[in-house]
Amino acid sequence: MKKIVLIVLSMLFLPAYANINVTYEDGIYHAILKGDKIKKQLKFVSKSNLITNKEAHNTAGSKFTINTGFFDPKNQKSISYIVYDYQTVEDPLFNENLTQNPVLRKNLKKIINRSEFRVLDCDSKIKYEIAPHNSKIDFLCSVKTSAQGGPQLLPQLRLEEEFFIVKDADGNVIRESASVLHKTPRTLIGLKSLPKGEQEIHVFVVTNEHPMDIYEARDLCAKYGLDSAMAFDGGSSTSMNYKNINVVSTQESGDTGRALKSFMIIQK
């Protein structure tokens, strides 16, 4: 089992920015992002060359950074849609390793319709939502920035619908993607509704100290009363940077982390 490198303060409660609250307990980091300021600071970014989460964090001058979408390490192309500043900057349909694979091509409609986290600009009012990629956006709204991952965890788990598992006629799982049925580190994101229409973003970085299968990940999000939730890329991609905390899943202790394609950053 791959080790998690944890550079962490020796306290249960970690110091926070006014609109970012991060706690750590039993191998799980839980971040709550709230307030209007976060809505302007949150961005999903991608890189032409793979870099570590820490490199993305430092380059962007970010307050908080996590890994997001799936990617192909062989050709360094995205398997997830990424939107930055109203523009689609990563499109999996341009990834030939995805579109030319016979099995994946047969299930391409499911793959490209995996869940994504959206920051929506609705006539200058910013709001969040988690939805399948092809789902319609409300009238007068546009996607300001977004990152696709999957599967959706809440309000319902969409494993077959997003091609994370395939079952035979007898209901037996014959194919699994992203280790959804195995215990592994995971990066999860969800939304919780507050009074007066406000929303909180909840991020869970599940480390190798407390690995989870996808059902346990769903239950974790439900435990905190989230209205909707989804997973980003996990396993060896699981990463977080916040203040002097660096969380990475790596082959060897002391490694700087896996090189990744896309990230969620909270700019200063």
Using pLDDT thresholds of 50, 70 and 90, give the confidence band for residue 53.
Answer: very high
Closest among 188, 212, 216, 213 to 202, alpha carbons compared:
188
Tens-digit pLDDT profile for residues 208-246: 999 999 999 999 999 999 999 999 999 999 999 999 999
pTM of this prediction? Answer: 0.92
Distance CA 7, CA 157 (A): 33
Q: Domain count for the chain, please give it.
A: 1
- Identify the domain containing residue 227 by its residue range: 3-267
The percentage of the chain sitting over the pLDDT mark of 70, rounded to a whole number, equals 92
Tens-digit pLDDT profile for residues 81-114: 999 999 999 999 999 999 999 999 999 999 999 9
Using pLDDT thresholds of 50, 70 and 90, give the confidence band for residue 256.
Answer: confident
Which residue spans within 76-133 are E strands per DSSP?
A: 77-78, 82-84, 87-90, 115-122, 125-132
| pLDDT at residue number 235 | 95
